[in-house]
Structure 1
């Protein structure tokens, strides 16, 4: 049940579970030159959006911004409510989801970030800010290229690292898990499709389904993404029920296919230009900043003109 007349001063979670951080280079990014927090922040928003905004605003830089992490770390709203609130905050001008190319040479990869502003801004401001951000070198660029991380997702509690690895551990033994379990010799694309049902049971595919979709998924890998990125893109923003997992995944593989990475350039380039795309806060589809209004792509705006 939503709490009425919430004060923006309620900026800490009422949950004892600490909010997780995203991997380095991912997660929350606050826009520069913001005013200090005030009691009047977010007072014009509805109760639910006001509470989620106050919670997000209090999170540190690099905090995980995926729906599952936000819903798990605060007690008042579930995943569907948090997803709707984030969409409303994007429309109100407080946030934008983006994908950035990070790294140098052959080590470039896409990372997902959420830019957050305590002050609401219009579409023109966000377009200008993201256009400038695209050519602004990221301080962690080199680290991300050496040690790439998966697309922002809820992270498990970190396990202690042993002083030295156990003897005789081979990669094949580490994949001995319950079905669906890819067998040796299967492609990374087939393996990623087979694991979709673990990430979300609504997208459970049969072996025949995986074989039929393998070539379409392989094209994603050919464009520089990894299994975690593919899984995140296919499972983001799922409807309450999926009647045909095969048809749903086939369409997303086609509609959300990322662009090809630019050709590798000589190492003589000191500071690589970072490419940036905005993600629709409703469906997650990527595009250029100027193609979005209120954080929504054209198809989502047409579905909900209000």
Structure 2
């Protein structure tokens, strides 16, 4: 059976200017007259954004002003799940396209507004408004005029350049190129005794029997011994230390010593409480006297009082009757 050809596609290909490429994509560009959204190549070809984040950004740009664009609202119109949509929104926020700002209404209520910018780089470097731009001056045609000799004009005072304006849009999440904070040092024990040194060395040297990917060199063991000794000094059990260091490692694990140093630093347990702190826990707490409920003898209303009797309203009524009778 012969292959069917689309005559409309063939005609459109014939109208493409220039020779057609032998490989790669061929663009047939038809002008839009309604229902279209302009998307910049900085977003469509962003090197650090996933395709999901780019698609979510295009979806958000196509929405009208004031449309719902939360995770659940987007999930009702997209095939991606809420987790992938949330991850895409975090990517867009990290690169400045999305921002969440808190605003106070005239009534005093605080709300969170979600702002999407289609060109965050332009907000970081705002252009000079057109109103501030100097108007062009039309020079008149030259006319021959005799000018008498005069003293040279005084030099004009230098004009200070305008101060740079603050950026209008600052991402809440720093970009990947931002300088990272220095790493915290490996924890150290108050005193590296021979007993702590031997116990920490034995624990690190034995890790590969429980998790083969944590096979360490002798230099790595000596470098990590103070961190394990700090854990042992804080009364951490060896099996608890082993689980905290080796559970759920990333796959593949390229640098086991770096991962152990990170976990020894970030997961360091607190120091055990002293004798005074434990004694404070066992100390009896002061008791507070709670006034019991009573039932009013006239209206059966419940009220708090150390003794039975009448509630406040009934006492006031009785006092008014007694004053009137007197």
The structure whose Rg is larger is 2
Normalised TM-score (structure 2): 0.27
Normalised TM-score (structure 1): 0.28
